[in-house]
Amino acid sequence: MSSTLAAPSFETPEKPPTWLGLQAPRYTSYPSAQHFHAGVNADLHASWLTSIRKDQTVSAYVHIPFCRELCWFCGCHTKMTYRDEPIEKYVRVLLGEIALIGKHAAGKGKLKQIHFGGGSPSLLNESQLMSILYALASAFEFAPPGELAIELDPRTTSEEKIAFYGSLGFTRVSMGIQDFDPKVQKAVNRIQSFEMVAGLMKRLHEAGIHQINTDLIYGLPYQTVTSFEHTLKQTLSLTPSRIALFSYAHVPHMKKHQRLIDEHALPDDRTKLTLYRMATEFLLANGYTAIGIDHFARADDSLTVAANSHRMRRNFQGYVTDTTDILLGFGTSAISQFPGGYTQNYSATHEYSKRIEAGQLATCRGWKAGAQDSFRKEIIDTLMCYMEADIGQIAAKHGQDANICARELTLLQECAYSDIAHTKGNLVQIATPYRMASRAVAAVFDQYQLPDSAQYSRVS
């Protein structure tokens, strides 16, 4: 990256694009979790765990559903606690779940990657974090080198904790920045200074953790092009290896605390689109590569390398370099991914804890893969990862008729998609200025798309 930041040269669109009102899932699974049902239960989950082979690679996602304060924009599965006791209690149950899942898997599978997400795993103290890692090491054979990653809320991350993450061998962290503007921060109840984040970044490098992701959100109240450009400049001065540029998903009917946000202060559609275009151009002009719908990474980042060699994947954690066969989710609401489908744990802590303490898996629902699922999943993942997909090629790979998606290809020629998708025979290409709209294009290939799309957030 150059020492002086290149200015963006974007143009504000004159008329609202045709696709702006479309709503679609984020496709971190196929089908999206809204379709999961209770027919996939603890018994099926247990049988999928039992059938893990000794040589299969496994990654673990550990969910920590606690935060000290609730950001009003938050769409994550988390809750606020000022006390440490609920966290201590939760970790005890989590250790029980890890042991139980390890017992079902009977020591098979090689654990390559571990990701702590949330909520805010930075709330875990040293002994809690150690005990979780120790439990995983007791339940599974470790297969290094892999990624050991953790999501940090800067406000609950101390310098001592960072030194500890370094000593444990954490290789990657994600830090929530969202926006540095004090007016925006006040409007979303998330106050954190640039100086505090910059200090922690310095400590991370000193601790030997150089793979650092930062999260930004566009579409928050009071954001303007000028204010958000300033946040981008401040973020870039911290030289993160990856930046996630999330579109604010405002779903107050599902996340009640979002009602605390003054809707009148939210940028309108045109401004939100302009924020996105400006941020994209800005990051591209300053040495970052656009990846998928909402990620940017430096050329030396492993995600860029994986994207360039078509090895990148999309799962519940977003875009990943993880190529393991099985993803095991631990904790409330956590989703596991097996060759045969998905399972999800209860979201309510008391429901989750009740099962685990009784020696049962905490599975509440899931999905058993249907006949066309792997074919359609590959189309959707390919579009979401690479902005284009050759339907004929994917059909041939899955032993499907090349004309199987004729209806979908015709649909994409309709007016609503004219700005975002182009088709050439069986090839579907997404217009890259509108990467975030690719989920609306992906939804055309979704066999299970619900008629009531209000369940999903708008693609802008």
User: Which residues bind to ligand SF4, rule: CB under 6 A?
Assistant: 67, 70-71, 74, 76, 78, 118-120, 153, 176
Please choose, out of 15-23, 243-251, 404-412, 431-439, the segment that lies near ligand SAM by the rule CB under 6 A: 243-251
**If you compute the radius of gyration of the chain from its CA atoms, what whole number of angstroms results?**
22
The interface with ligand SAM within residues 76-95 (CB under 6 A) comprises 76
List the one residue out of 173, 268, 166 whose CA is nearest residue 208.
166
Considering the complex, what minimum distance in angstroms separates the CB of residue 78 from ligand SAM?
7
246 binds, among ligand SF4, ligand SAM, none (CB under 5 to 8 A by kind): ligand SAM
CB-based burial label for 305 (10 Å; 0-12, 13-18, 19+): middle
Q: CA nearest 428: which of 436, 438, 453, 319?
A: 438
**Cross-strand partners of 150:** 116, 173
Q: How far is the CB of 440 from ligand SAM (least distance, A)?
A: 17
The reply on whether position 185 binds ligand SAM by CB under 6 A is no
Cβ closest to ligand SF4, residue 25 vs residue 176: 176
Alpha-carbon separation of residue 369 from 24, 106, 340, 372 (angstroms): 21, 24, 6, 8
From ligand SAM, ligand SF4, none, interface partner of 70 (C-beta below 5 to 8 A by class): ligand SF4
Scanning residues 97 to 156, which ones bind ligand SAM (CB under 6 A)?
A: 117-120, 151, 153
CA-closest candidate to residue 194, choices 235, 246, 242, 244: 235
State which of positions 388-417 bind ligand SAM (CB under 6 A): none
Q: Are 363 and 343 in contact (CB under 8 A)?
A: yes
Tokens 């249907």 -> residue: 370
**Contacting residue, 128, 171, 178, 460, with ligand SAM by CB under 6 A:** 178
Measured in degrees and rounded to the nearest 5, phi and psi for residue 26 equal -90, -5
Q: Which partner, ligand SAM, ligand SF4, none, binds residue 96 by CB below 5 to 8 Å per kind?
A: none
Cβ distance to ligand SF4 smaller for residue 78 or 324: 78
Is residue 322 within 8 Å of 315, Cβ to Cβ?
A: yes
- Answer for the pair 298, 287: CB distance below 8 angstroms, yes or no: yes
Min CB(131)–ligand SF4 separation in Å: 22
Task: For residue 25, give the nearest of 460, 457, 411 by alpha carbon.
Answer: 457
The span of 68-76, 395-403, 408-416, 427-435 binding ligand SAM (CB under 6 A) equals 68-76
Build a one-symbol-per-residue string for 248-277: x at contacts with ligand SAM by CB under 6 A, - elsewhere. xx----------------------------
Shortest Å, Cβ 439 to ligand SF4: 21
Category of 267 on φ-ψ map: left (φ > 0), alpha (ψ -120 to 50) or beta: beta
Partner touching 217 among ligand SF4, ligand SAM, none, CB below 5 to 8 Å by kind: ligand SAM
Binding site for ligand SAM (CB under 6 A): 67, 73-76, 117-120, 151, 153, 176, 178, 215, 217, 246, 248-249
